[in-house]
């Protein structure tokens, strides 16, 4: 697709497809993700928006009211991929029969619980079948809506209600699932990882590419949660920036199988700069737990080098 010129002022002045007045928490990354993904829709284009059960759904939709300006489908936790792939198939059938003249884009949102875990099967199926749709994961690293339980997106050593830190545990012992790589292994046209940095250019550009690339596309957006991560609301942009600068959350794309790193820090920051801003990692900064930070750093470095190898090959 031909990429439009990025004009921050023009994009932010586009109509709000996610109306204000929803009930998401102050400092939540989820609604920032949704708002900016939907702003990547070109003016006048129509969309069908899907939403797996989760924080986003319960806070933006209470029948008969919705915060979405486009057609909206709330679907069960495990079936966001299946629901939107079905809607996309129905649209194509009706279009072929001449019963619909308009063109629609199909975009569905799910948290990491409904994407990495419960909804992985329907997401995988939708991507493998080649539906012309975008699946957006707003990754806040736990099941925040139901009480901050660990998910397979939860980073190692994070304190959650099911992996509490204390005398018997150092937090979650497992590493985070690399879902973007799993989606890339489906050989779909477009996969990208992004978050909120600078003037949202990276988020906008990747959202537009995902929406207007024919076929299935997947976006993984780091979307911090103030309650689960335990940070002060104004710290949201800085936390996202530190996630990128420490290479905990690299910015990359996979376009038709080609891996592209979008940003390589000139001075890669130590991981602890990212961790120290979050209460869920408070226990790591006890003197006796320094080895845990070192182990976490080694894992981040390993994944970063693996990504560089993929992109340079």
DSSP letters for 180-232: HHHHHTTT-SEEEEE---TTSHHHHHHHHHHHHSSS-EEEEEE---HHHHT--
90 part of a folded domain: yes
Q: Could you tell me where the DSSP H helices lie in the chain?
A: 8-12, 29-39, 55-60, 80-96, 112, 120-129, 179-184, 201-212, 226-229, 236-245, 272-275, 290-312
**Number of structural domains found in the chain:** 1
What pLDDT is recorded for position 162? 97
Q: How far apart are CA 37 and CA 136, in angstroms?
A: 9
Q: How far apart are CA 228 and CA 112, in angstroms?
A: 13
What pLDDT is recorded for position 30? 93
143 part of a folded domain: yes
What pLDDT is recorded for position 1? 58
2 part of a folded domain: no
1 part of a folded domain: no
What pLDDT is recorded for position 22? 86
Q: How far apart are CA 146 and CA 213, in angstroms?
A: 34
172 CB-near residues (< 8 Å, 6+ apart): 150, 154, 155, 156, 157, 158, 160, 163
105 part of a folded domain: yes
Backbone angles phi, psi at 152, to 5 degrees: -75, -5
Is 242:197 a contact under the CB 8 Å cutoff? no
176 part of a folded domain: yes
75 part of a folded domain: yes
287 part of a folded domain: yes
Written as six digits, the tokens of 156 are 């190692």
Q: Digits of tens for pLDDT over the chain (313 positions)?
A: 556 788 888 988 899 999 887 888 888 999 999 999 999 999 999 999 999 999 999 899 888 889 999 999 999 999 999 999 999 999 999 999 999 999 999 999 999 999 999 999 999 999 999 999 999 999 999 999 999 999 999 999 999 999 999 999 999 999 999 999 999 999 999 999 999 987 899 999 999 999 999 999 999 999 999 999 999 999 999 999 999 999 999 999 999 999 999 999 999 999 999 999 999 999 999 999 999 999 999 999 999 999 999 998 6
What range defines the domain where residue 102 resides?
8-312
What pLDDT is recorded for position 63? 84
Q: In DSSP terms, which residues pair with 68 in a beta bridge?
A: 18
pTM of this prediction?
Answer: 0.96
CATH number of 85's domain: 3.40.50.970
What pLDDT is recorded for position 65? 85
Q: How far apart are CA 28 and CA 203, in angstroms?
A: 16
User: Does residue 141 come out as left (phi exceeding 0), alpha (psi in the -120 to 50 range) or beta?
Assistant: left
What pLDDT is recorded for position 200? 93
Angle formed by the axes of helices 201-212 and 29-39, to 10°? 60
3-state class (DSSP) for residue 101: coil
């Amino acid at each position: 697709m031909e990429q439009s010129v990025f004009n921050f002022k023009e994009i932010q002045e586009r109509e709000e497809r996610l109306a204000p007045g929803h009930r998401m928490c102050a400092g939540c990354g989820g609604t920032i993700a949704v708002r900016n993904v939907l702003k990547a829709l070109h003016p006048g284009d129509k969309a069908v928006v899907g939403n797996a059960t989760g924080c986003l759904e319960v806070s933006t939709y209470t029948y008969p009211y919705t915060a979405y300006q486009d057609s909206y489908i709330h679907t069960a936790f495990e079936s966001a991929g299946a629901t939107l792939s079905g809607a996309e198939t129905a649209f194509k059938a009706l279009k072929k029969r001449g019963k619909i003249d308009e063109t629609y884009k199909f975009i569905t949102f799910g948290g990491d619980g409904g994407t990495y875990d419960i909804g992985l099967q329907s997401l995988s199926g939708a991507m493998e079948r080649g539906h012309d749709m975008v699946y957006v994961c707003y990754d806040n690293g736990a099941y925040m809506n139901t009480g901050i339980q660990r998910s397979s997106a939860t980073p190692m050593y994070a304190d959650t209600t099911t992996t509490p830190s204390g005398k018997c545990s150092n937090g979650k012992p497992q590493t985070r699932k690399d879902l973007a790589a799993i989606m890339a292994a489906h050989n779909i046209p477009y996969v990208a990882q992004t978050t909120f940095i600078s003037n949202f250019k990276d988020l906008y550009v990747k959202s537009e590419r995902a929406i207007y690339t024919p076929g299935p596309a997947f976006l993984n957006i780091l979307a911090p949660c103030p309650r689960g991560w335990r940070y002060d609301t104004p710290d949201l942009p800085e936390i996202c920036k530190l996630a990128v600068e420490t290479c905990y959350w690299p910015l990359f794309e996979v376009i038709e199988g080609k891996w592209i790193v979008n940003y390589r820090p000139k001075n890669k920051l130590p991981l602890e700069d990212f961790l120290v801003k979050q209460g869920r990692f408070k226990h790591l900064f006890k003197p006796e737990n320094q080895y845990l930070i070192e182990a976490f750093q080694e894992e981040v470095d390993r994944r970063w080098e693996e990504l560089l190898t993929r992109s340079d090959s």
